[in-house]
Structure 1
Amino acid sequence: MTPTPDPTLPALSGYPRADGRKGIRNLVAVVYTVECAHHVARMVVNSFPGQPVHLIGFPGCYPNDYADRVMKQLVTHPNVGAVLVVGLGCESFDRRGLADAVDASGRPVHAITIQENRGTRTSVASGVEWVRWALEAIAAQPRVPMGIEELIVATICGGSDSTSGITANPAVGVAFDRLVAGGAACIFEETGELVGCEFHMKRRAATPALGDAIVRCVDKAARYYTVLGHGSFAPGNADGGLTTQEEKSLGAYAKSGASPIVGILKPGDRPQVGGLYLLDVVPDGEVRFGFPNISDNAEIVELLSCGAHVTLFTTGRGSVVGSALAPVIKVCANPATYERLAEDMDVNAGRILTGEATLQQVGDEIVALVARVANGEETCSEALGHQEFILTYKQFEPSGPGCFPLRAA
């Protein structure tokens, strides 16, 4: 189906990258390649308060294919204009390969090895000097026109309560349907929170093979959580009025809207065409790394590794987190929560509950805000300086050919 132009959406603009993608932000990423280099990297970033310099990194010393893949996708994310890599020197993580990936992408890159650079003070000083140069270099880059079909929008829910599944989540589903119809790529997650919804998703799959793959993904998640003796239903959900795992799953599922599902992604996979995608975040193979995601920010990082320009974060109980590298738009489900945390929330979907707005109106409001944020407007979490980031160990096998669309849906 050919995407339908949406004349009500404002024109978008972005920063062009050598690989043909465009970013909605233009920032310097300072990257540590082991926890031992974290402090030095943070000291560099702290020298640029209020400026577009973001800190990300991988704490583990030992190599991990998943972390390597995710990090390489992050340092070449379209919102990143330049990269400083900070390593200790004896870690096993491939810091040189990371710097090479940035260089191959056409971005300015500089690497500091603390053990070879006379320690903390000297490394911080040289890092600050390079970042100062990089900020000046990327500031000269102009924005260019960007189509809605070049935009990747993700969604996640956190701190869900009894209002999430009837206000914020379905409102995001309305927004997703409109964005997908316009040609954007939209990504929803998490298979561990969609147990029981697999056959609903199978009926929406673009192909029978994809439908079968969706069922296998959710079955894998159910087995994984069974081994752990843990599910996605948390005490905070119960305190917020959710009663069962099924109720939470259906609420989470509502974020996906009603568009056909055209593909399954794993962390680091990028949509090549527009449409609706499911992100599989549960590791493959034996259970060996513990909980698939120890916080909402771990999932945001995986969505960013798939190229997401912006993430729609729905919450009923309330959450104040944002993200490094890309804006987070908070869609608040509960009107009482919005009243308490108004300066952290971007959209009050609780107005649906009070009768002040319809589902369609809030969905349209979300789409309009996505467009404004894509054009440079700050989200609440950005204005407050939130740049949360976390990356741990996982293992994934490559997705099968039936998981990717042959053409736009």
Structure 2
Amino acid sequence: MQGYIRPDGSVGIRNSVQVIFMVECASHVAKNIAESFQRPDVQFFGFSGCYPSDYGYRLVKNLATHSNVGAVLIVSLGCENFDRDGLAREVKVSGRPCHLLVIQENGGTLETIKRGKALVADMLEEIARVPRREIDFSDLIIGTICGGSDGTSGITGNPAVGRAFDYLLTQGARCMFEESGELIGCEDHMMARAASETAREQIDLAMRKAKRYYSIMGLGSFSNGNAVGGLTTQEEKSLGAYTKSGDSPINGVILPTEVPPRPGLYLMDVVPDGEPRFGYPNINDTSEIIELIATGCHVILFTTGRGSVVGSVISPVIKICNNPQTYRNLSDDMDVNAGRIISEGASLDDVAQDILNCIRAVAGQELSCSERLGHSEFVLTYKAFDYEKSGCRIA
């Protein structure tokens, strides 16, 4: 595996140009600029809301300065509240090429697209000279989520990811799992694995918050699709999701955009702080993926039983299919067939090794299935977190 060396010493496994819109009104221009290049290392994403938020700014800033990003073009309408100048300054301070275009000041749609294409072409030439070095698992941050879970998820792909995590942690990687709302009922299991009393207290607090939030909002993480797929209860789904975390000690709890400070396993608390007012903490799988990437993940391990086809901007998504029938139906979208535990008698260790081999290949520049198919979905939403308390969340 070889990584791209960033000015701060971090390494990335991709070297992309990101075209970032500051409000939905600028998304058409950003989309046209990025898609004109027809190559996987030029992508676009953005924050659609006009009203500013600390969370939204942190999210975009972390994505713009992610170690998989080589350069940035910021596209602003001109009258939105997002701090575009502050973002441009922070990207430039990180050592990346960065340019800012304001549609209201650059002749409108066509002229801004023209200028944007020229700037992206120049930045592609510039970042082609970024130095590289050999990397190993200790250089990587790896996250996991599950989506479209079914009755096979808790006995195939999810525990296989847990086995892979256990190995990655012995190699000095930083690993994270999330979906605290889907882990309700697993509190005692997680607290028993806490690496310190501080970590234990923070797991307890995060899960108490999740239960309160879901109770007040009248929400649940059990869908009709889960039931059709053979899951019978919320508890069964939660335990299946929990197995993705493996058996290693849990070092602490982090919030979205807080990059793990040292090797170890972390629970990411995705439930907003304060009085519940945002609806579902994550409205779909893509918003969860984006939060993991904004928290530093180079690669996302996405397990699915019913099937999913989404990918993401910035970091590769590796699809691990839990169900052999789903794998047959969606083989073009799946990177690892964990369903062979059922259909072929493979062991959890066999599939964990498949996952590790896939991470090595993707970190070595091989495209994941979602990348080859051109998937680059993103969802950035409003939330609120008390980052002033964040120092006590990490053991």
> Which TM-score band (shorter chain)?
over 0.9
* 1:376 alignment partner AA: Q
Q: Which residue of 2 aligns with 1:267?
A: 256
* Counterpart selection for 2:358 from 364, 369, 376: 369
Q: Deviations over 1:360-401 (max 9, x none)?
A: 010011011111111111100000000000101000012443
Distance (Å, rounded) in 2 between the aligned partners of 1:255 and 1:94 = 37
Mapping for residues 5-404 of structure 1, pairs under 5 Å = 12-398=1-387, 399-404=389-394
Q: For the Cα contact (< 8 Å) 2:35–2:43, is it kept in 1?
A: no
Distance (Å, rounded) in 2 between the aligned partners of 1:403 and 1:205 = 12
Unaligned runs of at least 5 residues, structure 1: 1-11
1:296 Cα offset (Å):
0.3
Tell me the SS of whatever aligns to 2:3: strand
Distance (Å, rounded) in 1 between the aligned partners of 2:141 and 2:115 = 35
Instruction: Calculate the aligned-residue CA RMSD, in Å.
Output: 0.9
1:404 Cα offset (Å):
1.6
Distance (Å, rounded) in 2 between the aligned partners of 1:343 and 1:29 = 26
Tell me the SS of whatever aligns to 1:160: coil
Unaligned runs of at least 5 residues, structure 2: none
Distance (Å, rounded) in 1 between the aligned partners of 2:67 and 2:184 = 33
**Number of positions where the alignment pairs a residue of Structure 1 with one of Structure 2:** 394
Q: For the Cα contact (< 8 Å) 2:40–2:371, is it kept in 1?
A: no
**Structure 2 length-normalised TM:** 0.98
| Alpha-carbon spacing, 1:204–1:58, altered in 2? closer, same or farther (3 Å) | same
Deviates more, 1:308-317 or 1:282-291: 282-291
1:143 Cα offset (Å):
2.0
* 1:401 alignment partner AA: G
1:106 Cα offset (Å):
0.3
1:354 Cα offset (Å):
2.1
1:402 Cα offset (Å):
3.5
**Structure 1 length-normalised TM:** 0.95
* 1:323 alignment partner AA: S
